[in-house]
Amino acid sequence: MKKIVVLSLCLVFLLCNVCSAFAKSEKQTRVLKIDGRNVEFNIGSNVKDDISDEELKSLATSNPNTDSITIYEIGYAVSSTTDKKDVTESQLDTNSDKSQVSPNGIGDYLTYPSKKYTHYNVLESDRFMASCARGETKTISSTITEKLSASVDGTIKFGSLNLNNEISYSITRGQTLTGPPEDSSYNTREYRCKFYQNKGTWTQVGMLNGMPLFFSGSFTEPTKYISYSLDSYTN
């Protein structure tokens, strides 16, 4: 009797694990009416809470020739951090460009640059990664990677803007991609990745021999990416 109870408990435990694993692999389906057409979005369970209907609508609007889009992954940039403080007179000689700043003046200083954001999470690019024909199954032979890095326009004399680090998305070697099913009206499936970024301006001020210093420029920093696929018909 004890053996039967133990076996029953083990079966229940295994079934629970199988169901749990299956639930994690399930996709969520959302159907939105966009520009007069119903677009079906299949969203991975790992990202279903991270993408809004507005973002889905934007995806559909930028891809008007499909009503089938699958969301696979959303990745976020990590912020770089550095202690922020003003540079004092004693630091000017060792930490700044001597041709720009001299340590000999009384009360000379140079502040860390300050930044001001002007746009948040704007689309930087929508990049093609790979494609599969209808009914095709393809194994990736070489890893495909796309990246987005921060950029700064203008010369910062000292310090850093502490911008987000580079983000990248890869379809890795050995990964299997599939095209639309044989009975689909679409004949190709594109695997793509959208990259987003913040934009802004920066300023830096100081004093040299009683003369004010002012430097300025602009910057961009990556924020996130959305990897997805869409089914379409091409001639």
Coil, helix or strand for 168?
A: strand
- Asked if residue 7 belongs to a domain, the reply is no
Q: In this predicted structure, what is the pLDDT of residue 81? A: 59
Average pLDDT over residues 6-29: 47
The DSSP symbol for 186 reads: -
Question: Domain range for residue 152?
Answer: 26-232
Does the structure show a pLDDT above 50 at 126?
A: yes
pLDDT of 106: 58
Confidence (pLDDT) at 27: 80
CA distances for 30 relative to 53, 69, 74, angstroms: 9, 10, 17
Name the least confident of 7-11, 61-65, 156-160, 197-201.
Answer: 7-11
Residue 92: pLDDT over 90:
no
pLDDT of residue 107: 75
Is 14 domain-assigned? Answer: no
Round to the nearest angstrom and report the end-to-end CA distance of the chain.
68
Q: Which two tokens stand for residue 12?
A: 């229940």
Model confidence at 4: pLDDT above 90: no
pLDDT at 235: 86
The residue-averaged pLDDT of 161-168 equals 95
15: in domain: no
Instruction: Please count the other Cβ atoms lying within 10 Å of the Cβ belonging to residue 107.
Output: 9
Question: What integer pLDDT is reported at residue 11 of this predicted model?
Answer: 40
Question: What domain count does the chain have?
Answer: 1
Q: Do the Cβ atoms of 206 and 111 come closer than 8 Å? A: yes
More confident residue, 105 or 169: 169
In a domain, 8, yes or no: no
pLDDT of 50 reads 93
Query: Looking at the domain assignment, is residue 10 inside a domain?
Result: no
Residue 2 lies in a domain: no
Q: Regarding predicted confidence, which is higher, 12 or 147?
A: 147
Q: Does 179 have pLDDT greater than 60?
A: yes
Rounded CA separation 227/44 (Å): 11
pLDDT at 41 over 50: yes
User: What are the two backbone dihedrals, phi and then psi, of residue 229, each rounded to the nearest 5 degrees?
Assistant: -130, 155
| 4 in a structural domain | no
pLDDT of residue 146: 98
**1 in any annotated domain:** no
In eight-state DSSP terms, residue 79 is B
Mean of per-residue pLDDT scores for the chain: 83
